[in-house]
Amino acid sequence: MGNGMNKILPGLYIGNYRDSKDKKQLDSFNITHILSIHDYPGKLIADKNYLCIMATDTPDQNLSQYFSISNDFIHAARIRNGNVLIHCLAGMSRSVTIAVAYVMTISNFSWEDALKVVKSGRRIANPNAGFQNQLTDFQSNRLKEEKRRFRQRFPQSKLDALDQVLCLGALSEYDNLLKNKAICEGNCKLLEHCPTGTCRNASQQKIFKPRKKFLSKTSSGSIRDTAKSCPTSPNHQKLGKKPQSDEFESNLKPTMSSQSLRYRSSPAGLSSYTGVSESRTSLTSDKCSVLFYGTPFNKGSSQSLSSRNKSANAKSKR
């Protein structure tokens, strides 16, 4: 997950959060547009155009509501010879789902084949079960209408014919990778080696054994079960010793404040993954636009960076 961004189609790349802030790598791939989709997206590079979508990597997160705006953002950049990086935190689930929906829109592939196209370029691609269900629903109920809308906005060009050829080639490449066991379909058996590391295997599997219990006598002479506790734990109690009431109550007191509790993918989670803390980008004017969706900035609305500053300055003058 930390080996750099991967090319899916000409002008379309998938990467992780580290890739999105690696200016040297972005310039080497001539990235002009960045679609950032994770818990706290924001503009990190001044000379890039951004589409920021706030979304968690959970099965109940609705990503399908952003397929149309993402398709427009990606294709508008590609037909103008731009290069788009789609990234989430690991470049495995959220960003892949957006890329699969785009491939479905520009081709005649089902979501399963579109995922294979993406996997041939980025082998760790693995949307969670909820996102796969949304892609299935998108294919059954909304894809036809989305293609109609998409073609009205973007009439056919030379890029379309090239994409069809390249997608077919990617499918063939996927089959070759599968035969050579260089990729998996996400169904590796338990304790079986996974070539991409996305399935459970012996090195990843954690086997928890139940703690052994033994009998000990209490001060009253009765026998009770006592579980072994870790000797290095601060709450470790020696065998047969009953904690005093004050000591026992103090052990029940929470050691973490409510502010220190956080979701798995909060900014602090990003800090532990990337080594730097994530901060909300200040809204300073520049030539590149930023669109926010699903963020605290006017829920569900989009606005360019310059227009945000104009509205902010107007309010300050009042």
CATH code at position 177: 3.90.190.10
Is residue 186 assigned to a domain?
Answer: yes
Question: How confident is the model over 239-266, as a mean pLDDT?
Answer: 41
Q: Taking the CB of residue 180, how many other CB atoms lie within 10 A of it?
A: 9
* Residues marked as catalytic: 88
Q: What are phi and psi of 225, to 5 degrees?
A: -85, 140
Q: What order do you get walking across the sheet with 84-87 strand by strand?
A: 6-9, 12-15, 84-87, 33-38, 49-54, 290-293
Is residue 278 assigned to a domain?
Answer: no
Judge contact between 56 and 39, C-beta under 8 A: yes
Q: Taking the CB of residue 143, how many other CB atoms lie within 10 A of it?
A: 19
Q: Label residue 25 by pLDDT band (50, 70, 90).
A: very high
Most confident of 143-147, 250-254, 263-267, 313-317: 143-147
| Residues of the domain holding 149 | 6-192+284-293
**Distance between CA atoms of 238 and 45, rounded to whole angstroms?**
56
Judge contact between 264 and 128, C-beta under 8 A: no
Across the chain, what does the average pLDDT equal? 74
Segment 57-90, tens digit of pLDDT: 999 999 999 999 999 999 999 999 999 999 999 9
Q: Give percent above pLDDT 90 in the chain.
A: 48
Question: How confident is the model over 93-122, as a mean pLDDT?
Answer: 96
Is residue 268 assigned to a domain?
Answer: no
Confidence (pLDDT) at 127: 94
pLDDT at 253 over 60: no
Q: Which residue has the higher pLDDT, 256 or 192?
A: 192
Q: Report the number of distinct structural domains present in the chain.
A: 1
Q: Label residue 215 by pLDDT band (50, 70, 90).
A: low
Confidence (pLDDT) at 217: 53
Within 13 Å, how many C-alpha atoms sit on residue 248's CB side? Answer: 5
Closest CA to 26 of 56, 50, 53: 50
Segment 115-130, tens digit of pLDDT: 999 999 999 999 999 9
Is residue 29 assigned to a domain?
Answer: yes
Is residue 172 assigned to a domain?
Answer: yes
